[in-house]
């Protein structure tokens, strides 16, 4: 009885091997000068995150890369960790507080931050545990968190450093304000959404010409109390006479000037623009040019304040819009309103429209912009697919300063202290530059009692941009040494989504170039050499998977249903390079089925002969006897080497799904469907379907050795994709010894290393097998057409040339088995039996009942018509002088051979037809 069970049951196998790998320290990456390093830093998921299909894809690919690197003999480090995700995490904890009817302000800053920490201890980082269920071979002993003390020191140190270099400044500027999270956001965190609203046409009465009006169009009438001017284009003849005059502001009535500014678009609306500097970026600039003080009419949570006038004060912004429209209507200032759609910026996280708001913030002028361009443009960093480099470069061309301060509590508190009593709202540049008034340092001031620390924390991305090197202990020399910084940096590959090119990828490149190994060449400072961008996983309707839509399957459910290997194999098989993909559960099922197929092929091997020495490639090769090879042996080995080369190529090009498909096709079609089937006539007792010749023990041993070889190399090729089942079978079939692991202690030989050991399959024999396969398939179809099922035993007469018969005879036993043929004999064609023309002669199907001559005739006529068309087409091609003159020799040769084959078939069909009478 076989020790391998009838079907593959993943759960215990997965648990067993993951624990064994962990126990043996297989995932540890240690600097080893004897090997080349291979490093991947995980894109740190939010500490609040749970595993999604996107994570499954992304992390499976990373695991595939590091596992393959280990098999190739490299020292692999996959460093895991989580991101503190400032606003997101704070929101989660605030939500918990709300259940107790409390806000973070009730607790105060210190208590609240403590609370977040304890939340994190208790519930944070679940996702890392979930990744383990997927088989992730990350070095968990190195797990990092962006708020770890050492990491925080790096983040704050960078702030101090960049401040000292003049890259960071404090300024009162227009920011994207989130009225829900009550913080500033960077431009990248604002999402433009087409939004339906109304366009209001409002008239402002000219002060010294009662009855004369100037009209503007606006989508935000509630901001009218913040208007400080009406602007027109200086060259607009409609308004030249009015420039310098005053109009009445229709809400919170007051006189405001008409000014000329060339930023005004003459074509839009009436060509006049209301200027509201406190609530619009462009207006702010116009206001500055004309020295008009802004009037801020909004509170931080976007309610109207007292400056909006008594009728609007206290209203929430959208209610105020309605009310403003009503007031304008009553006063006759509203000319009309019409439906309108425009782009409105929304807070990506909170999902509410942002407000442009004038506030004091900390800003960063990016360092190393030009070098960051060069690194990608000159290929020091390669993007896959390459096209994303355009997006990257375009962003760098148009880069704006980065607002790095956030008005939240959870995060890295900015290491700046203000002298007590200083008016922070009235700071001048000179004040900020004065160390007596503003202190910036890692250690803080020596007399803390005289200072107040900055309230703001840093944008989360202003910590994660240091990820590739801060995770390796930078900047502390001793820690770096211990972590193997010199060995593992730059990292090899980054696997991430194109949606964070700006947030993360570009910023990491600039940070690496600025901070790592100053003065050294660019290729030593870049954070990674390859960036692989995955696609986005969508549902069947093409929608993004999201919690709110509920269209995302839980990966853990899928693992329970199909096994981690099945999930991995399935997801990779549907993930073409850099293209979004539609999730199909049946492909995951396909992954599971493939695992079962692999399992059963190994079971077949085990059931068909004693296991011999499988302990190394050399041991197996020593059992292989090339002298005993038949065409099928040559063919399967030829395909094994071809597949090995193809998978190699796929890894260099990051074509994971192509690799999986190559292995799938080879293993299922070439090995299981053909080689294993034809092996049966060498391995198993004679059956009624073959000639009954006794089995040759040497031939059998050779066949088993070849199966051992193919299975071994297949397990190696597959291991990065399906680590658990391959490790299990590796041991069950005796490829690995107790205490060693496929994943750690094995070297994957490439095709030239295998042929280098004397295994050189004959491609001509391989080609012959391909022909035989085609004939088998053709004859099976022929049988089916005549009502003879695949397994029914049929009798055949073949009229073949000596050459063809020699080949058929050499393969007689297995052909009989593959065809379900009771007999296959050489002889003259019978005109009354159904017939078919193949590459190896004409075949008669001898049935109990004679074929219907009329039907047979009709079929031959139809076949002849088809072949005649093909012959004519090929002849026409060859008769074309332009073709024969210009086409390459190989193509010409192919066409000639094709014609010869077609003509031979045509002649044979004609002969059969004639014989039929």
Provide, rounded to whole angstroms, the least separation between the CB of residue 458 and RNA.
21
Task: Give which of 772, 825, 769, 771 is closest to 794, Cα–Cα.
Answer: 825
Provide, rounded to whole angstroms, the least separation between the CB of residue 365 and RNA.
17
Q: Which residue, 78 or 532, is less far from RNA as judged by CB? A: 532
Q: Which residue, 542 or 618, is less far from RNA as judged by CB? A: 542
Query: Which residue among 387, 747, 862, 896 contacts RNA (CB under 7 A)?
Result: 387
Site for RNA in 421-440 (CB under 7 A): none
Helices (H), 361-494: 369-377, 388-397, 429-433, 461-464, 467-470, 477-483, 485-488
Query: Which residue among 117, 119, 651, 668 contacts RNA (CB under 7 A)?
Result: 668
Query: Which residue among 253, 394, 524, 896 contacts RNA (CB under 7 A)?
Result: 394
Q: Which residue, 152 or 713, is less far from RNA as judged by CB? A: 713
Provide, rounded to whole angstroms, the least separation between the CB of residue 362 and RNA.
20
Query: Which residue among 331, 552, 661, 750 contacts RNA (CB under 7 A)?
Result: 661
* Choices 14-22, 391-399, 505-513, 851-859; region in contact with RNA by CB under 7 A: 391-399
* 846 contributes a contact to RNA by CB under 7 A: no
Site for RNA in 179-198 (CB under 7 A): 187-188, 191-192
Q: Which residue, 642 or 831, is less far from RNA as judged by CB? A: 642
Provide, rounded to whole angstroms, the least separation between the CB of residue 682 and RNA.
12
What's the CA gap between 278 and 34, in Å, rounded? 62
Site for RNA in 864-893 (CB under 7 A): 870, 873-874, 880, 882-883, 886-888, 891
Helices (H), strands (E): how many in the chain?
A: 34, 29
What's the CA gap between 444 and 451, in Å, rounded? 9
Provide, rounded to whole angstroms, the least separation between the CB of residue 883 and RNA.
4
Provide, rounded to whole angstroms, the least separation between the CB of residue 267 and RNA.
13
C-beta separation of 681 from 588 below 8 A:
no
Give me the residues paired with residue 205 across strands: 213, 248
What's the CA gap between 157 and 24, in Å, rounded? 37
Query: Which residue among 740, 755, 830, 898 contacts RNA (CB under 7 A)?
Result: 898
C-beta separation of 135 from 564 below 8 A:
yes
* 776 contributes a contact to RNA by CB under 7 A: yes
**CB-based contacts of 260, cutoff 8 Å, min separation 6:** 231, 232, 233, 234, 239, 243
Provide, rounded to whole angstroms, the least separation between the CB of residue 545 and RNA.
13
* 692 contributes a contact to RNA by CB under 7 A: no
**By rule CB under 7 A, what count of residues binds RNA?**
73
Site for RNA in 404-423 (CB under 7 A): none
C-beta separation of 834 from 782 below 8 A:
yes
Query: Which residue among 118, 343, 546, 806 contacts RNA (CB under 7 A)?
Result: 343
The encoded tokens of residue 456 equal 């703001």
* Choices 156-164, 252-260, 410-418, 772-780; region in contact with RNA by CB under 7 A: 772-780
Q: Which residue, 213 or 503, is less far from RNA as judged by CB? A: 503
Site for RNA in 87-116 (CB under 7 A): none
Task: Give which of 736, 718, 716, 721 is closest to 564, Cα–Cα.
Answer: 721
Query: Which residue among 613, 673, 852, 893 contacts RNA (CB under 7 A)?
Result: 673
Q: Which residue, 92 or 350, is less far from RNA as judged by CB? A: 350
The encoded tokens of residue 386 equal 């390459």
CA 509 to chain centre: 19
Site for RNA in 475-504 (CB under 7 A): 499, 502
Which DSSP category does 365 fall into?
Answer: P
What's the CA gap between 185 and 187, in Å, rounded? 7
Site for RNA in 778-837 (CB under 7 A): 780-781, 784-785, 789-791
Tell me if residue 774 falls in helix, strand or coil: helix
Strand order of the β-sheet with 355-364 is: 183-185, 168-178, 355-364, 402-403
Query: Which residue among 20, 419, 500, 658 contacts RNA (CB under 7 A)?
Result: 658
* Choices 159-167, 212-220, 777-785, 837-845; region in contact with RNA by CB under 7 A: 777-785
**CB-based contacts of 45, cutoff 8 Å, min separation 6:** 55, 82, 83, 127, 128
Provide, rounded to whole angstroms, the least separation between the CB of residue 774 and RNA.
9
Q: Which residue, 117 or 668, is less far from RNA as judged by CB? A: 668
Integer angstrom CA distances of residue 884 from 77, 107, 222, 869, 889: 57, 87, 78, 20, 9
* 299 contributes a contact to RNA by CB under 7 A: no
Q: Which residue, 65 or 659, is less far from RNA as judged by CB? A: 659
Provide, rounded to whole angstroms, the least separation between the CB of residue 331 and RNA.
34
Integer angstrom CA distances of residue 685 from 80, 688, 694, 815: 54, 10, 8, 16
What's the CA gap between 98 and 153, in Å, rounded? 32
How many alpha carbons lie under 13 Å from residue 493 in its C-beta half-sphere?
24
Provide, rounded to whole angstroms, the least separation between the CB of residue 580 and RNA.
7
What's the CA gap between 545 and 551, in Å, rounded? 6
Site for RNA in 577-636 (CB under 7 A): 579-582, 584, 586-587, 590, 592-593, 595-597, 600-601, 603-604, 607-608
Tell me if residue 565 falls in helix, strand or coil: helix
* 60 contributes a contact to RNA by CB under 7 A: no
Q: Which residue, 620 or 676, is less far from RNA as judged by CB? A: 676
Query: Which residue among 672, 864, 878, 915 contacts RNA (CB under 7 A)?
Result: 672
How does strand 334-347 pair with strand 355-364? unpaired
């Amino acid at each position: 009885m076989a020790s391998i069970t009838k079907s593959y049951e993943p759960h215990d196998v997965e648990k067993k091997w993951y624990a064994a790998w962990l126990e043996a320290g297989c995932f540890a990456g240690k600097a080893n000068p004897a090997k080349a390093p291979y490093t991947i830093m995980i894109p740190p998921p939010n500490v609040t995150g749970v595993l999604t299909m996107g994570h499954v894809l992304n992390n499976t690919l990373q695991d595939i890369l590091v596992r393959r690197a280990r098999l190739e003999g490299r020292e692999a480090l996959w460093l895991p960790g989580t991101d503190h995700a400032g606003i997101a995490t704070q929101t989660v904890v605030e939500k918990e507080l709300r259940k107790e009817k409390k806000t973070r302000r009730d607790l105060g800053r210190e208590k609240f931050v403590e609370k977040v920490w304890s939340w994190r201890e208790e519930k944070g980082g679940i996702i890392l545990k979930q990744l383990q269920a997927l088989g992730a071979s990350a070095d968990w002993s190195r797990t990092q968190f962006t708020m770890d003390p050492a990491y925080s020191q790096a983040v704050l140190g960078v702030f101090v450093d960049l401040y000292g270099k003049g890259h960071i400044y404090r300024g009162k500027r227009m920011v994207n304000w989130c009225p829900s999270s009550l913080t500033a956001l960077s431009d990248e965190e604002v999402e433009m959404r087409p939004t339906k609203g109304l366009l209001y046409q409002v008239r402002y009465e000219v002060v010294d010409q009662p009855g004369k009006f100037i009209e503007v169009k606006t989508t935000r009438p509630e901001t009218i109390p913040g208007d400080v001017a009406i602007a027109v284009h200086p060259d607009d003849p409609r308004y030249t006479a009015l420039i310098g005059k005053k109009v009445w502001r229709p809400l919170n009535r007051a006189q405001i000037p008409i000014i000329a500014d060339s930023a005004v678009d003459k074509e839009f609306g009436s060509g006049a623009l209301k200027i509201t500097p406190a609530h619009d970026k462009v207006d702010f600039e116009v206001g500055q040019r004309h020295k008009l003080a802004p009037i801020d009419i909004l509170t931080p949570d976007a309610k109207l304040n007292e400056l909006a006038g008594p009728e609007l004060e206290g209203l929430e912004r959208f209610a105020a819009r309605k009310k403003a429209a009503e007031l304008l209507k009553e006063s006759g200032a509203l000319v009309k309103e019409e439906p309108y759609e425009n782009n409105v910026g929304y807070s990506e996280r909170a999902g509410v429209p942002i407000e442009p708001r004038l506030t004091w913030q900390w800003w960063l002028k990016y360092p190393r912009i030009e070098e960051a361009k060069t690194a990608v443009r000159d290929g020091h960093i390669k993007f896959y697919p390459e096209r994303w480099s355009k997006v990257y470069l375009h962003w760098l061309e148009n880069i704006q300063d980065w607002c790095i301060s956030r008005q939240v509590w959870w995060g890295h508190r900015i290491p700046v202290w203000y002298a007590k009593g200083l008016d922070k709202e009235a700071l001048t540049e000179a004040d900020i530059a004065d160390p007596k008034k503003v202190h910036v340092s890692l250690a803080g001031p020596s007399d803390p009692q005289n200072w107040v620390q900055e309230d703001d924390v840093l944008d989360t991305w202003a910590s994660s941009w240091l990820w590739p090197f801060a995770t390796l202990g930078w900047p502390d020399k001793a820690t770096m040494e211990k972590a193997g910084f010199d060995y593992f940096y730059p990292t090899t590959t980054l696997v991430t989504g194109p949606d964070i090119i700006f947030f993360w990828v570009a910023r990491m490149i600039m940070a690496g170039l600025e901070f790592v190994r100053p003065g050294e060449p660019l290729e030593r400072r870049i954070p990674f050499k390859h960036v692989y961008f995955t696609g986005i996983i969508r549902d069947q309707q093409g929608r993004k998977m999201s919690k709110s839509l509920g269209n995302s399957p839980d990966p853990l459910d899928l693992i329970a249903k199909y096994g981690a290997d099945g999930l991995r194999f399935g997801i990779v098989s549907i993930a073409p390079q850099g293209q979004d993909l539609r999730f199909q559960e049946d492909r995951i099922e396909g992954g599971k089925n493939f695992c079962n197929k692999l399992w059963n092929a190994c079971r077949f091997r085990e059931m068909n002969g004693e296991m011999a020495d499988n302990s190394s490639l050399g041991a197996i090769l020593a059992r292989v006897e090339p002298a005993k090879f038949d065409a099928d042996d040559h063919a399967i080995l030829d395909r094994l080497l071809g597949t090995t080369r193809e998978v190699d190529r796929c890894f260099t090009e990051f074509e994971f799904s192509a690799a999986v498909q190559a292995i799938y096709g080879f293993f299922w079609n070439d090995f299981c469907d053909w080689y294993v089937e034809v092996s049966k006539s060498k391995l198993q007792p004679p059956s009624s379907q073959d000639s009954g010749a006794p089995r040759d023990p040497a031939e059998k041993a050779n066949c088993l050795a070849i199966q051992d070889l193919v299975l071994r190399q297949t397990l190696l090729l597959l291991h990065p994709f399906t680590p658990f089942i391959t490790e299990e079978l590796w041991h069950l079939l005796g490829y690995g010894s107790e205490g060693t692991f496929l994943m750690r202690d094995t070297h994957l030989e490439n095709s030239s290393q295998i042929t280098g050991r004397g295994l050189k399959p004959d491609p001509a024999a391989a080609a012959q097998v391909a022909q035989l396969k085609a004939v088998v398939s053709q004859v099976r179809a022929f049988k089916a057409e005549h009502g003879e099922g695949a397994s029914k035993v049929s009798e055949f007469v073949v009229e073949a040339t000596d050459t063809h018969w020699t080949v058929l005879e050499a393969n007689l036993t297995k052909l009989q088995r593959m065809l379900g043929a009771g007999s296959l004999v050489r002889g003259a064609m019978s005109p009354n039996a159904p017939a078919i023309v193949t590459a190896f002669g004409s075949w008669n199907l001898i049935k109990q009942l004679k074929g219907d001559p009329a039907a047979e005739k009709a079929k031959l006529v139809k076949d002849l018509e088809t072949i005649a068309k093909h012959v004519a087409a090929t002849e026409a091609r060859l008769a074309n002088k332009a073709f024969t003159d210009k086409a390459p020799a190989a193509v010409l040769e192919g066409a000639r051979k094709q014609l010869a084959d077609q003509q031979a078939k045509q002649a044979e069909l004609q002969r059969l037809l004639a014989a039929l009478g």
